[in-house]
Amino acid sequence: MTQDDVDQGTAVARAVTRVRTHLDGLAALLEGVREPVEAGLAAAGADVPALGYRELTALLREVAAPHCTAALGAAPSVAGVGCVAQSPAEAGEAFAMVWWVSRNGVVSEKRHDLNPTSDAFYDYRDAEWFSVPRTTGGFVVAGPYIDAWGTDDLTITAGLPLRAGGRAIGVVALDVATARFVGELTDALDELPQDAVLVNADGRVVASTAPDLSTGLRLTPRSRAAAGAPAGTAVPAGARGWSLVLLPGADAPA
């Protein structure tokens, strides 16, 4: 092993640590919302899983509002925070969603169209940020993806399961301020001695120092790997399926 290999390994470890620190920060922020919301649901004295969607929405709004708005004010890299659930008491599990956003420093509640018969219906049931925490009980960072029924923009969403009455009724979730968050991750990659990309489990670019690989693109076939170059070395980056990929190039250590 050469000194260049050692230096590269140190730089990679440092970059991965910085990426994981950002992701851990999202998880900690969500936990800081989830804990008091679950306590508020328990203190309400209601059989939460038995509530209809209107009652569930009203209760979620009441207990979540101060914690979600406080999280937005404390974290400039977060654009939206809320609680998203389904009402098992109603046929088809009716929808309940309370969400707050921050724009230019102003926090406000955002209402989504949850009417299944509407053309603007925001059907989040199969979204990774909603379905994965409910089924695995763990933390997920989903995206980047185009949030066609939400922000209508490139979005990264993190989620943790929300429980009441001994069962998972939904999630506590947040949208990052994508440009700012990606910029912070790109800064972490800038320490590396060669081009690198941070990709999700689907091979979609989250952050990159390679000019031809912007956020949202797939690493293949648009990457230089498709032109016959080696795909690069992938290092797990501490999120569900995220990896740091070192791209080969003229400046890479031998």
Please report the domains of the chain, with CATH numbers, ordered by start residue: 20-179 (3.30.450.20)
Name the nearest CA neighbour of 112 among 104, 103, 121: 121
Tens digit of pLDDT at every position of the chain (254 positions): 454 554 677 889 999 999 999 999 999 999 999 999 999 999 998 888 888 888 999 999 999 999 999 999 888 889 999 999 887 666 556 788 999 999 888 899 999 888 888 888 888 888 999 999 988 899 999 989 887 655 567 899 999 999 998 888 899 999 999 999 999 999 999 989 889 999 998 889 999 999 889 999 988 744 444 333 335 567 887 667 888 998 876 443 33
d(CA 17, CA 39): 32
pTM: 0.87
Q: Locate all alpha helices (DSSP H) within 44-174, ordered by sequence.
A: 53-74, 128-136
d(CA 244, CA 240): 12
CA separation, residue 164 to residues 149, 189, 212, 247 (Å)? 27, 40, 46, 46
